[in-house]
Amino acid sequence: MIKDKKAIGMLDSGVGGLTVATEIIKTMPAEKIIYFGDTLHLPYGPKSKEDVRKYVYKIIEYLNSREVKTIILACNTATSMLLKEIRQKIKLPLFGTIDGVLQSVREVTKNKKIGIIGTKGTIKSKAYQEALLQGDSTLKIYAKACPKFVNLVEKGVFKGPKVLKIAEKYLMEFKKQDIDTLILGCTHYPYLIPVIKKVMGQGVKLINPAETMAEKAKNIIAVKGLISGKHEDIVDFSNHEFYVSDLNKVSLEFLNKGTNYLNLPDLKFEELHIFD
Ligand code: DGL
């Protein structure tokens, strides 16, 4: 039942979006992906919406030129700032990390007190807060930007006393607010799950939004008749394509530890100049 062999296009500000790619590959093993990480402009978190828009549209133009069948914004900052806007503009099915977050929250929370952490851009956009409150106005939402987490993860530092100290400082207020659910609204944060769990304790469930998003994307891709094959058909990993805009800015430390953490094989990133 081979239907549509075109690839799924994915974009992120860097290689952090591999946490999202991992969920896509796990959920849709028959699909080939073309991943573009904009390391030249990383991080997106502190940048203006205008700048992020400029970069993201350029990457979408590239992915369109590769005739992908769908596009995934594997970046919470880009999703929060631009998902709604881009959805109005492009014909392809488009998914962002926020898709499905309401469902995840509903499945998990008991006391309806929800924490959300992300980059400055994500938190300032209020996109997660709005998506949740539109679905359930009785939720109590507490949001906090945790910019230092990205720098640590980029350096390949996923655990240890320094990470723990920073995590305690950022997350302390959530403990006072008695949240029972914490949304990891940044591609880099899933690498810190062991530390975040340690700080928040057993009573707080962590949500990686990419998990439900991948499920949602799978269902919609199937409904639209865009699936590549049976999901038992596993794409040879070397068929996936991974690109970055600046290879010098790929932290090898992060890449090595990150792929290991995500149980991915060694990845070969190619540099691609789409911003010239
Ligand atoms: N990929 C970004 C996100 O998920 C994190 C890194 C950045 O600031 O660009 O928000």
- The atom number, within ligand 1, closest to the CA of 12 reads 1
Quote the pLDDT of residue 225. Answer: 84
In a domain, 26, yes or no: yes
Quote the pLDDT of residue 257. Answer: 93
12-46 pLDDT, tens digit each: 999 999 999 999 999 999 999 999 999 999 999 99
Q: What is the mean pLDDT of residues 205-226?
A: 93
Of 124-128, 195-199, 217-221, minimum mean pLDDT range: 217-221
Same domain for 196 and 107? Answer: yes
In a domain, 2, yes or no: no
Same domain for 55 and 135? Answer: no
Is pLDDT above 70 for 2? no
Take atom 1 of ligand 1 and give the residue whose Cα is closest: 75
240-273 pLDDT, tens digit each: 999 999 999 998 899 999 999 999 998 899 999 9
Question: How wide is the angle at C-alpha 167 spanned by C-alphas 164 and 169, nearest 5°?
Answer: 110
In a domain, 233, yes or no: yes
In a domain, 87, yes or no: yes
Q: Separation of 225 CA from ligand 1 center, angstroms?
A: 31
Quote the pLDDT of residue 231. Answer: 62
SS (H, E, C) the chain: CCCCCCCEEEEECCCCCHHHHHHHHHHCCCCCEEEEECCCCCCCCCCCHHHHHHHHHHHHHHHHHCCCCEEEECCHHHHHHHHHHHHHHCCCCEEECCCCHHHHHHHHCCCCEEEEEECHHHHHHCHHHHHHHHHCCCCEEEEEECHHHHHHHHCCCCCCHHHHHHHHHHHHHHHHCCCCEEEEECCCHHHHHHHHHHHHCCCCEEECHHHHHHHHHHHHHHHCCCCCCCCCCCCCHHHCEEEECCHHHCCHHHHHHHHHHCCCCCCCEEECCCCC
Catalytic positions, written as ranges: 75, 186
Tally of domains in the chain: 2
Verdict on whether the full-model pTM lies above 0.85: yes
CATH of the domain at 235: 3.40.50.1860
Q: Separation of 74 CA from ligand 1 center, angstroms?
A: 9
Range(s) of the domain holding residue 245: 8-98+211-271
Is pLDDT above 60 for 224? yes
Q: Separation of 2 CA from ligand 1 center, angstroms?
A: 35
